[in-house]
């Protein structure tokens, strides 16, 4: 009996058990499935990285991308520039609270090349009065003349028009320039606040053009390059 027990124990100890290779036991279908999933993850990560490097819009992307590097700029020229200075500080306080960031406010006369290179800019005021808008106008998809604006070949000279648009910062393509403009300072003040007559809803497109309370046109720019966006026609 003891001899039989020893043989039985010995047979259990010496028995070789082949374990399946891989966590799924070598199933080829499962392995190919895992490979496909892995490749999909790599593609998504690559796409997300590319999206972070290249600006794509729309308008509200400026607030999501880098809220700690925003500067609001108001014009110093024009008899109503004081209105825009007060409004810029009001926007800074409310926007800073919402984004939990310190939003700086500068007059256009104090914007130098270092600021242009290192910040996303939010420009307020008539495009022909804000010195930064004047400097960057060749990169804008719109032309401004005599308090009016060209949308493509169509010229609008009505009073009480407002235009909001976003483009890459030509000094640094990792940052934006967001422009709030109109024929006068009074047409721009209140553009961000829903209770104000000048309020113009803007967030999900690259530009919005309104006359009075009516949105006349809105849409997305044609991204010809990382530094130049144009009006699609």
Tokens encoding 161? 């028009």
Question: According to the model, what pLDDT value does residue 44 have?
Answer: 40
Q: Given pLDDT bands bounded at 50, 70 and 90, which one contains residue 34?
A: low
What whole-number distance in Å separates Cα of residue 7 and Cα of residue 143? 97
State which CATH number among 1.10.20, 3.40.190, 2.40.10, 3.30.379 fits the domain covering 61-231: 3.30.379
Check whether 110 has a pLDDT greater than 80.
yes
Check whether 28 has a pLDDT greater than 80.
no
Cα distances (Å, whole numbers) of residue 162 to 19, 73, 139 = 72, 17, 19
Question: According to the model, what pLDDT value does residue 43 have?
Answer: 40
Q: What residues form DSSP beta bridges with 73?
A: 106, 123
Q: Average pLDDT, whole number, for the chain?
A: 85
**Helices marked H in the chain:** 2-14, 28-53, 61-65, 81-99, 113-118, 131-136, 185-188
Domain span(s) for CATH 3.30.379 in the chain? 61-231
Question: According to the model, what pLDDT value does residue 16 have?
Answer: 52
Check whether 23 has a pLDDT greater than 50.
no
Check whether 8 has a pLDDT greater than 80.
no
Q: Confirm whether pTM is higher than 0.85.
A: no
Q: What is the dihedral of CA 20, 24, 30, 34, to 10 degrees?
A: -120
- The mean pLDDT of 78-103, rounded to a whole number, is 96
The owner of tokens 């008899």 is 79
Check whether 210 has a pLDDT greater than 50.
yes
Q: Given pLDDT bands bounded at 50, 70 and 90, which one contains residue 39?
A: low
Check whether 45 has a pLDDT greater than 90.
no
Q: Which of 11-20, 33-42, 209-218 has the highest mean pLDDT?
A: 209-218
Residue with the bigger pLDDT between 202 and 227: it is 202
Cα 5 from chain centre: 78
Q: What is the helix (H) or strand (E) element at residue 121, kind and residue range?
A: strand 120-124
% pLDDT > 70, the chain? 77
Q: What is the pLDDT of residues 217-228, one digit of tens each?
A: 999 999 988 888
Q: What is the pLDDT of residues 147-201, one digit of tens each?
A: 999 999 999 998 899 999 999 999 999 999 999 999 999 999 999 999 999 999 9
């Amino acid at each position: 009996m003891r001899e039989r027990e020893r043989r039985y124990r010995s047979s259990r100890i010496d028995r070789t058990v082949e374990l399946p290779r891989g966590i799924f036991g070598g199933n080829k279908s499962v392995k190919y499935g895992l490979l496909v999933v892995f490749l999909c993850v790599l593609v998504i990560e690559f796409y997300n990285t590319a999206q972070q490097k290249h600006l794509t819009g729309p308008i509200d992307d400026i607030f999501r991308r880098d809220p700690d590097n925003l500067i609001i700029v108001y014009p110093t020229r024009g008899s109503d520039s004081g209105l825009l200075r007060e409004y810029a500080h009001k926007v800074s306080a409310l926007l800073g609270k919402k984004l939990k960031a310190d939003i700086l406010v500068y007059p256009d006369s104090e914007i130098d090349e270092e600021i242009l290179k290192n910040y996303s800019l939010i420009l307020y005021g008539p495009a022909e009065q804000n010195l930064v808008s004047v400097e960057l106008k060749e990169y804008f998809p719109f032309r401004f003349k005599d308090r009016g604006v060209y949308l493509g070949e169509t010229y609008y000279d009505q009073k009480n028009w407002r235009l909001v648009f976003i483009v890459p910062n030509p000094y640094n393509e990792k940052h934006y320039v967001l422009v709030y403009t109109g024929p006068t300072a009074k047409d721009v003040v209140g553009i961000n606040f829903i209770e104000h007559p000048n309020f113009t809803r803007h967030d999900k497109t690259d530009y919005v053009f309104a006359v009075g309370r009516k949105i006349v046109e809105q849409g997305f720019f044609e991204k010809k390059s990382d530094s130049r966006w144009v009006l699609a026609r």
